[in-house]
């Protein structure tokens, strides 16, 4: 096993996650199997109890792991399926060591940070690196490890010590350190300054780690004299210094690394240069060109989606949803414009307190081609989401509700169509006399972390010719990722369906509602699961593709073609049959000419 460690210096937010993902993709394009590990130095066991405002999106894995959003980057870039063990936190490490101490595994010794914590970190890395993540048997060839935070942070010290030891624990030629640092350009003098990177590298060396490669973030490509200065003061060969300068979109980052021969520098350090093939990023390059074309100012074909949420103050809160929309819009050859709508701004109380904000929010909503209500927790903005769902339903605007978004759509229907004006969810009104959404029996009311219905679960289509089943390639069931502790009340299903709603997807028991549709509507779909977590560029989520297509007026073109699966529609499975029986976000087929032409993007690809 070979290891590539990615660290960051000077400031946070430099893009270590994108850099690590791009390195992984580049090495994969050279013919190697690649896996990834993210180290988060915080004390939380996982990201599950963190507010999106605090840490961005909580990404959910197939095995139910609630992890840092960077693991979503890795999955999208590398098209792999990671596990909860691929996310290491201080909380997990200390918990495992304390559990061992309580069992008496340390034979009465004094348990200390060195060697017990540092050994536990190294053992976890070795164990996680061997977990197959690409659907093939056996461990990967290379493991890319990202150390969260910035060099010098007090909470990351045990990990830095452990990784310093780890660099000598593995065989020579099995470890490469890539340090991502900042080379700022001061407006006053207009030149690139190397001193911050010099100090960062000096601090890294003082902690026992020596960088093999420098990845320098800057607004422009490094000047040659700047490279030579970094080479001289940081003791890194000039050919091992690469620039990550500002680009129109991050799809360019792997291409930047390739063009600067970063893969050769890494492979040389890992003694793999002799067996590596030339990097093949043909499809990646083609997709990047399509993206650039769509976002050229002269390109006018666009699709406008209103995102009605409560965490819009931090866009990373909905990172996977944004990426899923982007994957689908690129496939549909439309420029994506997201209209951010703060849900609470749609409510009557805002109309009284701030009429201008209220009017602006409704104008953005009504000006959109489609409406998306993503998941969330807490009652702030819920009434606004209900109003958005009502507007979409009554105005025949394409609508996709995810998790809570599905639940509020059901509540709105019960209130407006069934006349149950006090219909609500037990999450926000435990005493409601018409509970449309209830607490799941197996949930815990005393512990928050890891107690929801998490991970990949199977949904069976009860109505074969519904829109959702068709979008999934006429599948009989689909496996998607979940994260919820409330569900639609099964006792109200008969009333709702009698009034026109159709619960087309259910779990294996038939009592847990997974997908709801309004057959009389052009595109009104709610799902209990999170389809965004398995979306990939070139393999966009079926339901996001449906939303974009419906918002562009192209849904009928998709649904009415009996051969749409064989033509590589969003995420279709290559089963060799006209009608695949299962949908697992598998590989989609390439079009006859291998191009990206047509409504949907074909072929494999990866994107942040």
Catalytic site residue from 30, 216, 234, 403: 403
Residue 267 in tokens:
């492979």
Closest CA to 202 of 251, 228, 227, 235: 235
Catalytic site residue from 55, 252, 530, 608: 530
Q: Are 358 and 409 in contact (CB under 8 A)?
A: no
- β-bridge pairing 486-488 and 502-506: unpaired
Q: Does the annotation mark 412 as catalytic?
A: no
Q: Does the annotation mark 532 as catalytic?
A: yes
Catalytic site residue from 283, 339, 480, 532: 532
Q: Does the annotation mark 327 as catalytic?
A: no
Other residues' Cβ atoms within 10 Å of the Cβ of residue 432? 17
Q: Is 335 helix (H, G, I), strand (E, B) or coil?
A: strand
Other residues' Cβ atoms within 10 Å of the Cβ of residue 534? 27
Q: Are 137 and 131 in contact (CB under 8 A)?
A: no
**Could you give the dihedral angle defined by the CA atoms of residues 405, 410, 414 and 415, in that order, rounded to the nearest 10 degrees?**
0
Closest CA to 153 of 41, 37, 6, 16: 41
Distances (CA, A) of 25 to 22, 75, 253: 5, 10, 10
Residue 416 in tokens:
């407006």
DSSP string covering 204-240, please?
A: HHHTT---SEEEEEESSPPPHHHHHHHHHHHT--GGG
Q: Are 271 and 142 in contact (CB under 8 A)?
A: no
Residue 200 CA to residue 9 CA, distance in Å, equals: 5
Q: Is 525 helix (H, G, I), strand (E, B) or coil?
A: strand
Q: Annotated active-site positions, please?
A: 403, 530, 532
């Amino acid at each position: 096993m070979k290891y590539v460690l990615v660290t960051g210096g000077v400031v946070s937010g430099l893009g270590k996650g994108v850099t690590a993902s791009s390195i992984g993709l580049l090495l994969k394009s050279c013919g190697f199997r690649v896996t990834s590990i993210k180290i988060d130095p915080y004390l939380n066991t996982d990201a599950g109890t963190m507010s999106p405002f605090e840490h961005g999106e909580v990404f959910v894995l197939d095995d139910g792991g609630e992890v840092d959003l960077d693991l979503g980057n890795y999955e999208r870039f590398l098209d792999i399926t990671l596990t909860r063990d691929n996310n290491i936190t201080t909380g997990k490490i200390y918990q495992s060591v304390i559990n061992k101490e309580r069992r008496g595994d340390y034979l009465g010794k004094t348990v200390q940070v060195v060697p017990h914590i540092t050994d536990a970190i190294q053992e976890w890395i070795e164990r996680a690196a061997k977990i197959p993540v690409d659907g093939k048997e056996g461990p990967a060839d290379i493991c890319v490890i990202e150390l969260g935070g910035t060099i010098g942070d007090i909470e990351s010290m045990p990990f830095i010590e452990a990784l310093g030891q780890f660099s000598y624990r593995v065989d020579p030629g099995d470890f490469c350190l890539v340090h991502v640092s900042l080379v700022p350009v001061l407006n006053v003098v207009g030149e690139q300054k190397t001193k911050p990177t010099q100090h960062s590298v000096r601090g890294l060396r003082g902690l026992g780690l020596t960088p093999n490669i420098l990845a320098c973030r800057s607004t422009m490509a490094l000047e040659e004299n700047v490279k030579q200065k970094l080479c001289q003061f940081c003791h890194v060969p000039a050919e091992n210094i690469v620039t990550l300068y500002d680009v129109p979109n991050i799809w360019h980052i792997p291409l930047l690394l390739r063009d600067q021969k970063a893969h050769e520098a890494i492979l040389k350090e890992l003694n793999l240069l002799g067996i590596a093939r030339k990097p093949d990023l043909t499809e990646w390059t083609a997709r990047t060109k399509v993206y650039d074309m769509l976002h050229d100012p002269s390109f006018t074909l666009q699709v406008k989606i209103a995102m009605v949420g409560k965490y819009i103050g931090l866009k990373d809160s909905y990172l996977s949803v944004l990426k899923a929309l982007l994957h689908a819009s690129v496939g549909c050859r439309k420029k994506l414009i997201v209209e951010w709508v703060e849900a609470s701004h749609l409510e009557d109380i805002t109309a009284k307190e701030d009429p201008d904000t209220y009017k602006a929010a409704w104008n953005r909503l009504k000006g959109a081609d489609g409406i998306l209500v993503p998941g969330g927790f807490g009652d702030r903005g819920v009434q606004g989401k209900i109003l958005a769902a009502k507007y979409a339903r009554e105005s025949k605007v394409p609508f996709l509700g995810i998790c809570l978004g599905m639940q509020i759509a059901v509540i709105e229907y019960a209130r407006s169509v069934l006349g149950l004006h006090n219909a609500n969810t037990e999450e926000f009104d435990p005493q409601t006399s018409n509970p449309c959404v209830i607490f799941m029996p197996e949930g815990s009311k005393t512990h928050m972390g890891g107690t929801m219905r998490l991970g990949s679960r199977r949904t069976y289509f009860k109505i074969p010719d519904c829109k959702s089943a068709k979008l999934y390639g006429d599948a009989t069931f689909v496996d998607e990722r979940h994260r919820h502790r409330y569900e639609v009340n099964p006792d109200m299903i008969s009333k709702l369906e009698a009034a026109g709603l159709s619960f087309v997807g259910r779990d294996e028991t038939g009592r847990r509602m997974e997908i709801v549709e309004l057959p009389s509507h052009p595109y009104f779909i709610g799902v209990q699961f999170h389809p965004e977590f398995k979306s990939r560029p070139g393999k966009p989520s079926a339901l996001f593709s449906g939303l974009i297509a419906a918002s562009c007026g192209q849904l009928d073109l998709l649904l009415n073609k009996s051969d749409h699966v064989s033509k590589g529609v969003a995420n279709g499975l290559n089963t060799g049959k006209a009608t695949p029986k299962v949908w697992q976000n598998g590989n989609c087929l390439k079009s006859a000419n291998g191009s990206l032409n047509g409504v949907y993007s074909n072929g494999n690809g990866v994107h942040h």
